[in-house]
């Protein structure tokens, strides 16, 4: 069981703190740019698209660093960079600094996140030889406790504090996470150095390519949660920032309560079917946003979206970790993060365009939800190739262990 690994709990605690700091501030950046600085939503979406390239650069360096320099050193460096970026961002927002500088610092925050995630994901894989969906589910519990607390606290504080103060508080939370990374998180052993250099060596694995192709529509849809949904609920439906924060709080609460039991249950199912069901629930939840208006019904939509997330996210991480050789987990998981980052940033770009140019809510969310339904069909129709790749990888791993015995 993953919880028995001594180094996993500090990692979960660190994930909780960093998620709380991030979600305390970043969901409100779009609102700041639109409401306080008069930026068009389509331009905000363009900024989010640019963040994909920033995060991709971080994923490239973070995957390499996790494999070649060590998980903990890479993680600590990323957290230190995030502290500096959050602090400078808060100061510039408080003084109404140039928008271009604010955007550049936001991109630096995304670089730091890209640096950290391959190291975090590789540590989970290192510490969970079996039942990796459970391990990634436990990590998501910690992250989503922070994700649930952050927006609720941020939404409350935003009613009487300027947005800039939220970013300064995020910097303080990241300082605590850095102390944990340096003082308590341990690597399980020396990492074998691969002779293959570069993140793109992972892309020569056909199993990884199959998975990323099938999953990318879901990555695009998942990217609607922060930017597109915040503008739709606050600007279009007239919800308060505290009510929007409540939607994200429900997301985090559900993951904190149900993620680990659901991960244990889904471990028994064929992986392609878990991923297909997760994609379907993602699409169904976002589709419902085209018709619901009452806040309790919006909460119901968030329950469906979160159910899809709880199935899809840990299963995708576990799939890539199992496809990867042990000495290249950082780069494989960096490749996964690369796809997720492009989806998380290209998704808001797409959502921003639809918000500006599609006046009908059913058409807006119907178009976006079709991404989830597309992925469902892809996993059901093409998932056997992924399943076969996992079976071959398991056989190779068994042969390697028997050869060492």
Q: What is the CATH number of the domain that holds 152?
A: 1.20.1250.20
* Number of domains, the chain: 1
Instruction: Describe the chain by its helix, strand, coil percentages, rounded to 5.
Output: 85, 0, 15
C-beta separation of 200 from 61 below 8 A: no
Domain-located, residue 192: no
Domain-located, residue 13: yes
pLDDT tens per residue across all 405 residues of the chain = 444 444 688 899 999 999 888 888 877 888 888 888 878 777 887 887 787 788 778 887 888 888 888 888 999 999 999 999 999 999 998 988 888 899 999 999 989 988 998 999 989 888 887 778 888 998 989 887 887 788 778 888 888 888 888 999 999 999 999 999 888 887 776 555 555 555 577 778 888 888 898 999 999 999 898 778 988 888 888 888 888 888 888 887 888 899 999 998 988 888 888 999 999 999 999 999 999 989 999 999 999 999 999 999 999 998 898 888 878 888 899 889 888 877 877 888 899 889 888 888 899 999 999 999 999 998 988 655 555 555 555 444 434 443 433
Q: What is the DSSP code string of 218-277?
A: HHHHHTTTTHHHHHIIIIIS---HHHHHHHHHHHHHHHHHHHHHHHHHHTTS-HHHHHHH
Separation of alpha carbons 16 and 355, rounded Å: 32
The candidate with the shortest Cα–Cα distance to 135, out of 218, 15, 250, is 15
Domain-located, residue 193: no
Mapping DSSP onto H, E and C, the string for 31-75 reads HHHHHHCCCCHHHHHHHHHHHHHHHHHHHHHHHHHHHHCCHHHHH
Cut 0.75: pTM above it: yes
Range of the domain at 231: 2-187+198-404
Domain-located, residue 123: yes
* Cα angle, residue 114 at apex, residues 108 and 120 outer, rounded to 5°: 135
Domain-located, residue 106: yes
C-beta separation of 227 from 345 below 8 A: no
């Amino acid at each position: 069981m993953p919880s028995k690994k001594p180094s996993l709990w500090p990692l979960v605690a660190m994930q909780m703190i960093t998620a709380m700091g991030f979600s305390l501030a970043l969901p409100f950046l779009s609102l700041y740019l639109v409401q306080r600085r008069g930026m068009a939503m389509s331009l905000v979406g363009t900024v989010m698209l640019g963040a994909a390239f920033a995060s991709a650069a971080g994923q490239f360096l973070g995957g390499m660093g996790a494999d070649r320099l060590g998980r903990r050193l890479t993680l600590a460096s990323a957290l230190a960079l995030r502290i500096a970026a959050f602090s400078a961002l808060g100061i510039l927002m408080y003084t109404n600094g140039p928008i271009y500088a604010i955007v550049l610092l936001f991109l630096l925050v995304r670089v730091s996140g890209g640096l950290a995630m391959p190291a975090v994901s590789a540590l989970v894989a290192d510490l969970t030889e079996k039942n990796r969906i459970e391990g990634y589910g436990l990590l998501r519990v910690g992250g989503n406790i922070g994700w649930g607390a952050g927006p609720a606290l941020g939404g409350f504080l935003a009613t009487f504090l300027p947005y800039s103060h939220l970013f300064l508080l995020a910097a303080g939370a990241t300082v605590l996470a850095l102390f944990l990374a340096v003082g308590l998180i341990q690597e399980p052993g020396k990492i074998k150095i691969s002779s293959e250099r570069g993140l793109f060596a992972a892309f020569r694995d056909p199993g990884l390519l199959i998975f990323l192709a099938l999953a990318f529509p879901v990555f695009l849809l998942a990217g609607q949660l922060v930017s597109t949904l915040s503008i739709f609920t606050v600007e279009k439906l007239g919800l308060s920032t505290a009510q929007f924060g409540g939607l994200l709080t429900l997301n985090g609460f559900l993951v904190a309560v149900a993620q680990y039991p659901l991960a244990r249950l889904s471990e028994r199912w064929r992986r392609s079917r878990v991923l297909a069901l997760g994609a379907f629930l993602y699409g169904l939840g976002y589709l419902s946003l085209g018709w619901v208006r009452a806040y309790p019904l919006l909460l119901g939509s968030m329950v469906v979206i979160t159910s899809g997330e709880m199935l899809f996210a840990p299963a995708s991480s576990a799939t890539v970790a199992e496809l990867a050789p042990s000495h290249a987990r950082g780069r494989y998981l960096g490749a996964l993060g690369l796809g997720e980052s492009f989806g998380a940033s290209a998704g808001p770009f797409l959502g921003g365009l639809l918000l500006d140019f599609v006046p009908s809510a059913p058409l807006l969310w119907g178009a976006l939800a079709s991404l989830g339904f597309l992925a469902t069909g892809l996993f059901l129709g093409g998932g056997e190739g992924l399943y076969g790749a996992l079976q071959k990888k398991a056989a190779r791993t068994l042969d390697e262990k028997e050869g060492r015995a």
